[in-house]
């Protein structure tokens, strides 16, 4: 299945980006074919609603699971309604997170912060 991770750089050794809505890049990985591709995050320059926009992109790419350290309420709503599961990332690289996901070691994210409309961390 396809999973997505917000990343600071376009490679598997990149750290997971602490911000979801304003991550510079998005990593998409197919756990079956092991293919990985990246997209620049167009929401980075958004004044507000960045999380909503990224969630839209993720849903549009047919992602089934998102791995992120945090996620806003608005983005969570878009993802939940689009049937994308949200997992809490572990400190480390994107590759480490992918491995942890495949090994079923990640837990679901349960704490969603209020919408920031342009003001998130």
Partner 1 sequence: MKSKGVRIAILSGKGGTGKTLVSVNLASIAGKSVYIDCDVEEPNGHLFFKPENIREELIAVKIPVINEDLCNGCRKCVDFCKFNALAFIKNKPYVFEEVCHSCGGCMMLCPEKAIREQEKAIGKVQEGVSGGVRVHTGIMNAGEASGIPIIKNLLSKSVLNKAIPVFVDCPPGSACIVMESIKDADYCILVAEPTVFGVHNLSMVYELLRLFKKPHGVVLNKCLDGENPAESFCVENNVPILGRIPFDNDLGSLNSNAKIAIRESERYKVLFSSLLETVMKEVRHETTINP
Partner 2 sequence: MKQLLILSGKGGTGKTTIASAFIKLSGAKIYADCDIDAPNLHLVMAQNIEPKRTGYFGMPKAEIAIDKCIECGLCKENCRFDAISNENGFMVDPYACEGCGVCEAFCPVDAVSLKPAIAGELMLYADDNNVFSTAQLKMGSGTSGKLVTEVKKQMRTMASPDAKLAIIDGSPGIGCPVIASLSGVDMVLIVAEPSISGISDMERIIKTAETFRTKIGVCINKYDTNTANTEKIEEFCKEKGLPFTGRIPFDPEAVATINKGQTIVDVDCPAGAAVIEVFSSTMKLLSEESDGAEA
CB atoms within 10 A of CB 42: 13
Tell me the C-alpha distance between 42 and 20, whole Å. 12
Q: Which of 7, 20, 41, 49 binds partner 1 (CB under 8 A)?
A: 49
Residue 81 touching partner 1 (CB under 8 A)? yes
- Quick check: 111 binds partner 2 (CB under 8 A)? yes
Give the largest Cα separation in the chain, rounded.
Answer: 37
Point out which span in 28-36, 76-84, 97-105, 109-117 binds partner 2 (CB under 8 A): 109-117
In the chain the first and final C-alpha atoms are separated, in Å, by: 30
Give the number of C-alpha atoms closer than 13 A to the C-alpha of residue 76, restricted to the C-beta side: 18
Pick what 113 binds: partner 1, partner 2, none; C-beta below 5 to 8 Å, kind-dependent. partner 2
Binding stretches for partner 1 (CB under 8 A) = 43, 46-50, 52-53, 55-56, 59-60, 74, 77-78, 81-82, 115, 117
């Amino acid at each position: 299945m396809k999973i997505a991770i917000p990343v600071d750089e376009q490679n598997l050794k990149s750290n997971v980006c602490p911000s979801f809505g304003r991550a510079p890049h998005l990593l998409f990985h197919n756990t079956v074919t092991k293919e990985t591709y990246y997209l620049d995050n167009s929401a980075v320059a958004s004044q507000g609603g960045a999380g909503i926009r990224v969630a839209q992109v993720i849903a549009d790419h047919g992602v089934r699971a998102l791995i992120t350290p945090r996620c806003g309420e608005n983005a969570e709503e878009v993802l939940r309604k689009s049937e994308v599961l949200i997992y809490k990332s572990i400190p480390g690289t994107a590759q480490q997170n992918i491995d942890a996901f495949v090994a079923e070691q990640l837990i679901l994210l349960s704490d969603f912060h209020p919408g920031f409309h342009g003001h998130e961390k």
